[in-house]
Structures are given as structure tokens and as C-alpha cells.
């Protein structure tokens, strides 16, 4: 079996696809990470100037907008004003040492929970609670970096960016690497030679699955690690013990009904917890590898079912993009479209919903899709069941398929 797997790995890496895909993936992560860093890495003064410009533009356009758009614009203006207040506060706090600064921030956040626009909103309260938990963790574990909200480092940017990029890029990368593993050898001479080896068809398929999975993991995880190292060299790594808030749970909000008679969700107060960045990254990589294994099974199934290499590659990528598009569409929706409701219902059972481990761990996937059924536990279950079912079907089809005609 080991010889079969290494032989399949050699065939995959000889095609240079893994190298090309890895280079492209690294370039994408670095480009968007640096754009994100440039956008978020501003001094308090820069934040104040920029937000005041945004507010001025919004006010000029307000008269030409419809009622719903005006409501969203007013919310944006309120957010910008809040960021301006926080920027002024940050300027004042710069005079303090990091411990006193964090203590002041905690005290200020405790007061913030009593503000009129927050006190009646469980989601906003839990967001403030998450900030308080992070600050208390930093104080307890001596993490000075957490005192400066305007100084993001490579680890901060990396975790955010990988969460976004994974949603659509991850499935496509797996498709490119895996989809021709079986269909690419379906010509009679190639398959005849393969089947003359002293191995059962089941072992041959399993070796292809393992080799494709290993190649995909190398292409994705190693590319991410290389991107992180380059980012760290350019902008600084930051502390691996810096706190990250995770696990926010949500429930349906009976008081807020969206289009299609679908209820919005609200955070469950006290559900958020904090972990250091190094632990979060390990959990992200673990969930990502699980997704890679499951999606590799889907690609193996397509490759077994379709004899044509071109058709296999095209159909697989189209399926991956459509599934990712469904997830992105309902994440981006504001609840005003009744057409999103069927997709919100099935989203917890779509494997692509769990392609972004960062969003899954934080609870953002649950919040944006507006379905509290989405969770890490269900994500693991969906990945395992989907992967197992697809592989079993592929195994049955491959072992019974007549490939000698």
C-alpha cells in the first residue's frame, strides 16, 4: 500500500499542478492580507480623518436614498462615529502603560454595555463581552500587544484573511489537484496496466485518495504557513499568546422577523470564550484538514463517475463554485430576500458551509447565515458523513466498473 501511495504522489507532483496552485494560493493570501493590513493598520488620527470624510459623504448622499438604504447608512454613520470616539480615547490612553491602558479599556467597555443602543441588543452586548474577555485574558497572561487595537500583526491579519479566502478558493484548489486522479487514467492502455499490478481495485482507489489528500494538504496548509512566515517578516508576527474570542452561539430572535417568515438570530450572552492565537491556529488547521479530506472524497467520486478528464475537471469546478456561491450569497444577504430562506435551511448540511474554519470557530458563519444549527460539532459530522458516503459510492463504482473496453 505504501508503494502504491508513493507512486500516486509521484504522478501528482510530476504534473507540477501542486507547485503552480501553491504559488498562486500564496500570492492570493499575501495580496489580500497586505491590502487588509493597509486598510486596518491606521493610527487613531488617520482613523478620525478617514471616518469624518466617510460621514460627510454619506450625509451628502442621504437625501437621494430610499428609506431602507437610509437606515443602513445611518447605522454606518453611527459606527463611524463610535470608531472616532474610540480613536480619541486611544490617543489619550497612549500616555499610560499597557496594563493601566487595558484596565481603563475594560472599565470603559463595562460602561458601554449600558448605552441605550446596546443594552437591549444581546448580540451587541456579547460583542462587548468578547472584548472584555480578551482584555482580561491579556492582562492575566501578560500580553501587551492586546492593549493596542491599532497595531495588527501577521497572526491577526492571517487568521482573518484565511477565513475569507477559504470560502471559495479552498474547494477550487482541491478540485484542480484531485479531479483527474482517476479520470485522467481512464484510457484503456493506462487502466489495463494499472490493473495488472498485484493490488485490488479497492487498494488502488484508496491509494489515489490518500495521495490526492496528501497533495492537497501540502498545497494548502504549507502555502498558508509560507504566507504567514512572509507576512511575519514584512509586518511582524505579533504574540502567539494574543487572545482571540471564539465560540459565540446564537439563537433565533423571536422579535425580529425577516423576509420569508425567517427569524433573525441573536447572540447567547455568555457563550463566547477566549483562546490564544497559537491554539486557534491549530484548531483551524485541524478543521481545514478535515474539510480537505471530505472534499477530496467528493472529487474522487466525480473522477470515478466521469471518464473524460476534461468533463470531470469542468463539472467538478462548476459544482464547487456553485456550492460556494450559495454560501456566499446567503452570508451577504441582509434578510430582505425571501429567496434566501430555502438556502438558509439547507446551509447547515452543505459541506462548503464549513470550508472556512475561522468563521466556523468564531460563530460568524452562524451569525451571517442566520441559522443557529451551524456549529463546529455539526460541521465535523457533515464533513465525516459526506466524505464517507462519497468514498463508499466511489469505491463501489470503481470496483465494479468495466474499464477494459
What digits encode the pLDDT tens for the residues 296-310? 999 999 988 887 778
Q: Percent of the chain beyond pLDDT 90?
A: 37
Cell of 195: 490493473
**Torsion angles phi and psi, residue 258, rounded to 5:** -95, 180
What value does the mean pLDDT take over residues 202-230?
Answer: 91
Distance between CA atoms of 219 and 214, rounded to whole angstroms? 9
What value does the mean pLDDT take over residues 205-219?
Answer: 90
Summarize the chain as % helix, strand, coil (round to 5): 75, 5, 20
How does DSSP classify residue 222? I
3-state secondary structure (DSSP) of residue 255:
strand
User: pLDDT per residue over 7-64, tens digit each?
Assistant: 777 887 888 888 888 999 999 988 888 888 877 777 777 778 888 888 888 877 777 7
Highest mean predicted confidence (pLDDT) among 49-63, 163-177, 371-385: 371-385
What value does the mean pLDDT take over residues 265-272?
Answer: 94
**Could you give the dihedral angle defined by the CA atoms of residues 245, 251, 257 and 259, in that order, rounded to the nearest 10 degrees?**
70
At 405 the pLDDT is 43
- Whether residue 257 is predicted with pLDDT greater than 60 in this model: the reply is yes
- Whether residue 283 is predicted with pLDDT greater than 90 in this model: the reply is yes
Q: Minimal CA–CA distance to 51: which of 61, 62, 39?
A: 39
User: pLDDT per residue over 78-98, tens digit each?
Assistant: 888 887 877 777 766 677 788
- Whether residue 196 is predicted with pLDDT greater than 70 in this model: the reply is no
At 207 the pLDDT is 87
How does DSSP classify residue 76? H
- Whether residue 349 is predicted with pLDDT greater than 90 in this model: the reply is yes
Return mean pLDDT, the chain. Answer: 85
At 403 the pLDDT is 54
At 118 the pLDDT is 87
Distance between CA atoms of 369 and 357, rounded to whole angstroms? 15
- Whether residue 356 is predicted with pLDDT greater than 70 in this model: the reply is yes
At 46 the pLDDT is 75
Return the number of other C-beta atoms located less than 10 Å from residue 263's C-beta. 16
At 402 the pLDDT is 61
- The answer to whether 27 touches 223, Cβ cutoff 8 Å, is no
At 197 the pLDDT is 61
Which residues partner with 257 through β-bridges?
Answer: 263
What value does the mean pLDDT take over residues 136-165?
Answer: 84
Helices then strands, counting H and E runs in the chain, come out as: 18, 4
Cell of 175: 478540485
The model's pTM is: 0.86
Helix (H) or strand (E) holding 265: strand 262-267
Longest Cα separation, the chain: 80
What value does the mean pLDDT take over residues 87-112?
Answer: 81
Lowest-confidence region among 196-200, 302-306, 327-331, 353-357: 196-200
What value does the mean pLDDT take over residues 209-220?
Answer: 92
Backbone Cα Rg of the chain: 24
At 281 the pLDDT is 93
Return the number of other C-beta atoms located less than 10 Å from residue 225's C-beta. 14
Helix (H) or strand (E) holding 257: strand 250-258
The total number of residues shown for the chain amounts to: 405
Amino acid at each position: 500500500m505504501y508503494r502504491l501511495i508513493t507512486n500516486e504522489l509521484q504522478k501528482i507532483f510530476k504534473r507540477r499542478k501542486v507547485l503552480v496552485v501553491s504559488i498562486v494560493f500564496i500570492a492570493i493570501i499575501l495580496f489580500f492580507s497586505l491590502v487588509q493590513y493597509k486598510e486596518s493598520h491606521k493610527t487613531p488620527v488617520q482613523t478620525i480623518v478617514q471616518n469624518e470624510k466617510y460621514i460627510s459623504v454619506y450625509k451628502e448622499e442621504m437625501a437621494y436614498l430610499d428609506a431602507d438604504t437610509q437606515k443602513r447608512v445611518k447605522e454606518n454613520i453611527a459606527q463611524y462615529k463610535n470608531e472616532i470616539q474610540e480613536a480619541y480615547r486611544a490617543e489619550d490612553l497612549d500616555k499610560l502603560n499597557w496594563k493601566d491602558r487595558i484596565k481603563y479599556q475594560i472599565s470603559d467597555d463595562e460602561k458601554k454595555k449600558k448605552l441605550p443602543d446596546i443594552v437591549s441588543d444581546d448580540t451587541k452586548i456579547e460583542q462587548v463581552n468578547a472584548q472584555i474577555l480578551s482584555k482580561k485574558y491579556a492582562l492575566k497572561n501578560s500580553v501587551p500587544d492586546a492593549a493596542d487595537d491599532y497595531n495588527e500583526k501577521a497572526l491577526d491579519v492571517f487568521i482573518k484573511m484565511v477565513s475569507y479566502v477559504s470560502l471559495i478558493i479552498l474547494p477550487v484548489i482541491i478540485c484542480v489537484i484531485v479531479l483527474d486522479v482517476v479520470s485522467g487514467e481512464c484510457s484503456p492502455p493506462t487502466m489495463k496496466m494499472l490493473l495488472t499490478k498485484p493490488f485490488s481495485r479497492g487498494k488502488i482507489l484508496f491509494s489515489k485518495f490518500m495521495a490526492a489528500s496528501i497533495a492537497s494538504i501540502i498545497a494548502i496548509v504549507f502555502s498558508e504557513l509560507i504566507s504567514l512566515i512572509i507576512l511575519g517578516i514584512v509586518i511582524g508576527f505579533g504574540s502567539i499568546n494574543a487572545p482571540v474570542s471564539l465560540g459565540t452561539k446564537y439563537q433565533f430572535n423571536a422579535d425580529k422577523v425577516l423576509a420569508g417568515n425567517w427569524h433573525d438570530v441573536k447572540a447567547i450572552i455568555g457563550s463566547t470564550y477566549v483562546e490564544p492565537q497559537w491554539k486557534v491556529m491549530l484548531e483551524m488547521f485541524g478543521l481545514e484538514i478535515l474539510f480537505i479530506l471530505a472534499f477530496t472524497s467528493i472529487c474522487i467520486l466525480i473522477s470515478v463517475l466521469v471518464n473524460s478528464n476534461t468533463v470531470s475537471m469542468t463539472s467538478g469546478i462548476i459544482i464547487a463554485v456553485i456550492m460556494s456561491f450559495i454560501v456566499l450569497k446567503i452570508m451577504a444577504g441582509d434578510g430582505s430576500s425571501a429567496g434566501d430562506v430555502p438556502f438558509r435551511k439547507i446551509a447547515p448540511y452543505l459541506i462548503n458551509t464549513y470550508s472556512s474554519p475561522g468563521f466556523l470557530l468564531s460563530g460568524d458563519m452562524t451569525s451571517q447565515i442566520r441559522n443557529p444549527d451551524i456549529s463546529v460539532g455539526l460541521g465535523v459530522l457533515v464533513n465525516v458523513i459526506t466524505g464517507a458516503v462519497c468514498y463508499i459510492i466511489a469505491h463501489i463504482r470503481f470496483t465494479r466498473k468495466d474499464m477494459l473496453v
